[in-house]
Amino acid sequence: MRAEIVTTEKIPKLVIVGRPNVGKSTLFNRLTGSRRSIVTDEPGITRDRIQGTAIWEGRTFEVVDTGGMVPDDKAAIPREILRQAKVAIDEASQLVLVVDARVGVTPLDAELARLLRRAGKPLAIAANKVDVMRQESQAAAFHELGAAVFPISAEHGLGIDEMLEELTRDFPKGEAEEQQAAVRVAIIGRPNVGKSTLLNQLAGEERVIVSPEPGTTRDAVDAMVRRGEKSYVFVDTAGIRRKGKTKLQAEKLSVVMARKHLERADVALLVVDAAQGVTAGDAAIAGYAKESGRSGIVVMNKWDLALEAAGKKAERESKGKVTRVDAGQLMRDYEPMVKRQLKFLDYAPIVFLCAKTGERIARLYELIDHVAEARKRRISTSELNRWLAEVDLERGTMPAGKKVKIYYMTQASAAPPTFVLFTNQRQRLHFAYERFLENRLREKFEFLGTPIRFLSRVKKRN
Which pLDDT does position 426 carry in this prediction?
Answer: 82
Low-confidence ranges of the chain (pLDDT < 70): 1-10, 34-48, 72-79, 81, 132-136, 174-180, 206-221, 239, 241-258, 320, 322, 397-402, 460-462
Which pLDDT does position 263 carry in this prediction?
Answer: 84
Which pLDDT does position 162 carry in this prediction?
Answer: 94
Cβ-in-10-Å burial (0-12, 13-18, 19+) of 317 comes to exposed
**Domain 381-458: CATH superfamily, name plus number:** K homology (KH) domain (3.30.300.20)
Nearest to 192 by CA among 172, 170, 216, 171: 216
Which pLDDT does position 46 carry in this prediction?
Answer: 47
Which pLDDT does position 133 carry in this prediction?
Answer: 57
Which pLDDT does position 132 carry in this prediction?
Answer: 66
- Binning the chain into helix, strand and coil, the percentages to the nearest 5 are 40, 20, 40
Instruction: Answer positive or negative: Cα dihedral of 273, 278, 283, 284.
Output: negative
The ranges assigned to domains in the chain are 7-167, 183-375, 381-458
Query: What is the number of other CB atoms lying within 10 angstroms of the CB of residue 384?
Result: 18
Do 183-375 and 381-458 fold alike per CATH?
A: no
Cα of first residue to Cα of last residue in the chain, in angstroms, is: 59
Which pLDDT does position 223 carry in this prediction?
Answer: 80
Which pLDDT does position 217 carry in this prediction?
Answer: 46
Architecture of domain 183-375: 3-Layer(aba) Sandwich (3.40)
The arrangement of strands across the sheet holding 50-56 comes to: 50-56, 59-65, 13-17, 94-100, 123-128, 148-151
Architecture of domain 7-167: 3-Layer(aba) Sandwich (3.40)
Distance separating alpha carbons of residues 246 and 184, to the nearest angstrom: 27
β-strand partners of 14: 63, 94
Which pLDDT does position 229 carry in this prediction?
Answer: 86
Predicted structure pTM score:
0.74
